């Protein structure tokens, strides 16, 4: 069975919980959707842990409500959007950087990937911590911060479906334009896929073929960009 546990990370203003999965060499910080570190996010972490990564999923809503784990009912969706509307984006970026520093104690080369809200935060947090690679899956409003997109000088991937209701085609074109001069940045658009296509818990939007292809591309980038951990190096 893949190793999994909850850990506590000291951050500015308190202590933040995080879900930890795997014992592989490269370290990944994985960033949540608006539904918190729920079962679906933990499953995603385990999915990448089985590929050989150690994955840390910080509880980014902890300042509002610790250990939020919502489902996908209308009521839970409303609660998620309410939490999102109160979320302190700047503090969240600081918390992500603290999570990365915690992970780098065992895994000195750390990558970041995120979904939806987490997809946007993965890009934003690159200003607060020197991640070795960045992956954003259907990150919302990436086009609103083109200077930050252009400033990322490590390998980066953006994954989005062409039927995404929250990332319109115009936004995708703006992202492509912002990154066109970046040889190590890639934008992958999946035909017929909508928002949340990587989330197997949401059967109405899950696109298994797109998810499998995205996973393969992301894993390849991280394996190429991240070195082994101190633990692996000493083995």
The pLDDT tens digits for 114-162 are 999 999 999 999 999 999 999 999 999 999 999 999 999 999 999 999 9
Q: In what order do the strands lie in the sheet with 4-11?
A: 4-11, 14-21, 54-58, 27-31, 110-115, 134-137, 156-161, 185-190
Q: Is residue 194 part of a domain?
A: yes
Q: How many structural domains does the chain have?
A: 1
Residue 168, domain member (yes or no): yes
Instruction: Please confirm, yes or no, whether 195 is among the known catalytic residues.
Output: yes
Whether 116 is in a domain gets the answer: yes
165-221 tens-digit pLDDT: 999 999 999 999 999 999 999 999 999 999 999 999 999 999 999 999 999 999 999
Q: Does 54 reside within a domain? A: yes
The pair of three-digit structure tokens given for residue 20, joined into one six-digit string: 């930890």
In percent, the amount of the chain with pLDDT more than 90 equals 94
Contacts of residue 115, defined as CB under 8 A and 6 or more positions apart, other chains included, come to 31, 32, 33, 41, 44, 137, 138, 139, 196, 198, 199
235 occurs within a structural domain: no
> Is residue 85 in some structural domain?
yes
- Please tell me the predicted confidence (pLDDT) of residue 82: 97
- How many C-beta atoms surround the C-beta of residue 81 within 10 A? 11
76 is catalytic: no
Question: Catalytic: which of 23, 164, 166, 181?
Answer: 164
Per-residue pLDDT of 214-231, as tens digits, reads 999 999 999 999 975 444
Domain range holding 67? Answer: 4-228
Q: Give the global pTM.
A: 0.94
Answer for the pair 78, 7: CB distance below 8 angstroms, yes or no: no
Domain annotation covers residue 37? yes
Cβ–Cβ under 8 Å, residues 125 and 219? no
Of 95, 107, 159, 195, which one is the catalytic site residue?
195
User: Is residue 234 a part of any domain in this protein?
Assistant: no
Q: Which residue has the tokens 């990150």?
A: 139
Q: Report the CATH number at residue 215.
A: 3.40.50.1820
């Amino acid at each position: 069975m893949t190793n999994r546990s909850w850990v506590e990370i000291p951050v500015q203003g308190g202590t933040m919980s995080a879900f930890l999965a795997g014992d592989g060499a490269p370290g990944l910080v994985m960033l949540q959707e608006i539904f918190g570190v729920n079962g679906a996010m933990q499953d995603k972490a385990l999915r990448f842990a089985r590929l050989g990564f150690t994955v840390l999923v910080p509880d980014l809503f902890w300042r509002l409500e610790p250990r939020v784990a919502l489902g996908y009912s209308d009521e839970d969706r409303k609660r998620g959007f309410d939490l999102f509307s109160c979320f302190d984006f700047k503090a969240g970026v600081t918390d992500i950087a603290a999570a990365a520093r915690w992970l780098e104690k065992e895994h000195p080369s750390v990558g970041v990937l995120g979904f939806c809200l987490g997809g946007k935060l993965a890009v934003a947090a690159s200003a607060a911590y020197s991640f070795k690679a960045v992956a954003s899956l259907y990150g919302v409003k990436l086009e609103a911060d083109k200077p930050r997109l252009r400033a990322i000088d490590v390998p980066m991937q953006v994954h989005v479906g062409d039927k995404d209701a929250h990332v319109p085609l115009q936004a995708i074109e703006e992202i492509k334009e912002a990154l066109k001069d970046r040889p190590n940045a890639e934008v992958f658009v999946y035909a017929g896929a909508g928002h949340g296509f990587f989330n197997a818990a949401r059967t109405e939007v899950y696109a298994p073929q797109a998810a499998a292809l995205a996973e393969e591309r992301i894993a390849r980038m991280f394996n190429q960009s991240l070195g082994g951990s101190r633990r692996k190096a000493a083995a």
